[in-house]
Amino acid sequence: MDVLRIAFLVPHDFRYSNWSIEDYITKYHYSKKYAAELASRGHEVTVHLLHQDISNDIELELKDYRIFFHPSSFYFPPKLRFGNAHNLRIYKYVLRDEPDIVHVHYYYAWSTPYVIALLKRHRLKIVLQHHGECDLLKEFRVLFSPLYALADLYLIGYRHELLYVRKLLARKIVYFPNVGVDPEVFKPVEMKSDRPLIVYAGRMIRERRGKRPDLIIYTLKVLTRFRKDFKAYLIGDGPERSLLEQLVNRLNLSRFVTFTGHIDQNKLVKYLSKAWILFHPVPFHSLDLFWDGIVKEAYACETPVLALSKLGKVKQYRYGILLPYSPASLAKYLNRLLSNPDELFNMGKSARKYVIKYCSWSRIISKLEKIYEKLAKN
């Protein structure tokens, strides 16, 4: 296919994770993976982001693409930790790339509607991709529907979101994984642990609508009433790690729970391979194989997933389970799952087959190229 000029826009900064620019450059972030994969196929790629710790623009040249960090000029609405950063000039920097395609990650950021409008004045092709919600004001975005409608295409990997957006923009939606996984990297590299092994991998933070690693700890405390043969590893860093460590000590769970801090990808693969289950304390309407990065990585390592049910109901899938928020209910079902390892291992094998078929990075980037090419020609 023809070489395309692709500009990625990540319309948020990194206050929520406390990441520095060096953290973004050295650690995994899905926006870099998209850029690197497309650049490796010969396309001209740039990435534009906001950052809270700078006052001037910073340009960095990576192996095959360029990254531009722009300062967060102001925050609106106030008192949010994520999605409310603005820089009114960012669209001008995107225009300098003269892109064939502008791909905006995270379309619920508060700056996205007016950025779409400003870019569309120059007749650019705009792709918006869903990566989650940043606050409780999702329904308020309906006021911006005329601006959102200016985008050419929506990529959505979460079925509940797809059904919601379909009411407004039915003809512009593609069911598409939010991120991919490399099955040659994320694969079983260790035998499953001899004793029940539970893994969490993510930020150490308590989010009102997102990750709740504290809920894992409370659940494990209840689980000790049923069994004491398990081990849990909590992988990752974040602003509330010390508070979570204190909670583990207060509940006398130190012999069961280990905090690893941030680890590299090779070590993560080993933990996921040995784990019996990934405890992913995030609320979902459904357990979609197209949704969530660490979930796909666990599946690729033949490890099923336990996540939270937004509807408060137990829902079993071939490759995981959704459970109510209650530590008592979570511990009850977790004990049942850990008592049937063959069932868990079969769920994991089924999950890997599906992920390889539909969610490998090579597959989704090939599909994305076709989407871009069709848009560019139109």
Total length of the chain: 378
Closest by Cα among 3, 6, 70 to 35: 6
359 contact partners, CB below 8 Å, separation of at least 6 = 177, 180, 181, 289, 290, 296
Q: Report the relative pairing of strands 101-105 and 125-129 from DSSP bridges.
A: parallel
The whole-model pTM stands at 0.93
- Domains for the chain: give ranges and CATH numbers: 5-180+360-377 (3.40.50.2000), 197-358 (3.40.50.2000)
pLDDT of residue 138: 82
pLDDT of residue 288: 87
Q: SS3 for 121?
A: coil
Q: SS3 for 164?
A: helix
pLDDT of residue 210: 78
Q: N- to C-terminal Cα distance for the chain? A: 15
Cα-based angle 149, 153, 155 (whole degrees, multiple of 5)? 120
pLDDT of residue 209: 67
Query: Which stretches of the chain score pLDDT less than 50?
Result: none
pLDDT of residue 89: 96
pLDDT of residue 207: 76
pLDDT in tens, 279-320: 999 999 999 889 999 999 999 999 999 999 999 999 999 999
Inter-axis angle of helices 327-338 and 341-358, nearest 10:
100
Cα-based angle 117, 8, 183 (whole degrees, multiple of 5)? 140
63 CB-contact burial (10 Å; exposed 0-12 / middle 13-18 / buried 19+): exposed
